[in-house]
Structure 1
Amino acid sequence: MDEVIVRVCRTIACLARLCIMSFLAGCREATPTDIGRKVPMSLDKVSAHLRRLATDGLIKRRRSGTWCYCSAQSPYSEQALSGQVASWIYRMLEDPVATMRRFGVGQLRNASRGEAQKQLHKLIFEAATAFTDLRRLQILRRLSGGDALTPHSMTKELHMSKAAVSRHTDKLIRRGYLKASSSRVEPSLA
């Protein structure tokens, strides 16, 4: 399961794919050519990103003759991780201004749709990159019980070097998933 989480989060942690997903969230379905016209990238790149999104269950593709149509839904049920992630992201991407308002981002309350969309992509990117490494998942799982640990004890328990623990906990702290005091790391309740 951890490998699936990492793979899906790595797919989402790409601003180009988030732009494609935003475009699909605003229409019923589209061809790669339609997407290439709206999202500034070559058709080859659009096709490669669509292939990755489809492989990880974040878009649904169907063929009709020589045409390929993509839609903003997962081919899997909402009980599957890909289905849950796709549903959550498309709900946020449908109306980026309202989403950012719900998150209470004050400086964007009067922002344009395009600016809100850029900020939302950045927010999703930052959140997703926290889960793109198995070691960070290991750290989060270990700290999920609410215990605070020292970096030294995490190094021993998780069989990681001190540098790896430091690097991964720093990334999780920057994204708000962990809090650090002078000598301990603990889960963030924010």
Structure 2
Amino acid sequence: MTDSAEWTDVRPGRPADLPAVLALLDDAVGWLTSHGRSGQWGTSPLSASPRVRALISRVAACGGLHLAVQHTRVVGALGFGSPPAYADPAREPELYIMLLVTDRELAGQGIGARLLAHAQATAARAGRALLRVDCYAGGDGALVRYYESQGFVPTQRFAMAQPSGDPWRGQVLSRRIPLGKG
């Protein structure tokens, strides 16, 4: 793996960045589907979902969208927001990651790790010692293992009913953030 952190900047996202984020999501759906992993986000482009479009627009409008960029090219997106209803309530102030996606052409170059480091720094600046995320826990569990490799600990498993009858299995993970004394 090459670390792209030295050439990837993270900047605040804006509502005008919606097409770039949707393109990343659509590419990820295509990649997942081509690798037999359609259980995570399905097979349809997420850009066609009014719910996804509204969610990302809302995150951007509230200042929770952050983009990894290489020069002017968006190569990753990170979004913060309120935890979903299926996540157990936190017992302390937290920062909740509701979106993390990277350019599949640059997989393995550390973009996701760079965005997660940005999330940790954002949480620390906000005085929040808890960072949480949820992800797909079905299939071979690779996504859960990725978050574990980034210092997250599984805390809560959940399942959501799907029209197909098979539940969508998920995992909430958390990471403790050291807060400075200053």
Give your verdict on TM over 0.5: no
Higher-Rg structure is 1
TM-score when normalising by structure 2: 0.28
TM-score when normalising by structure 1: 0.27
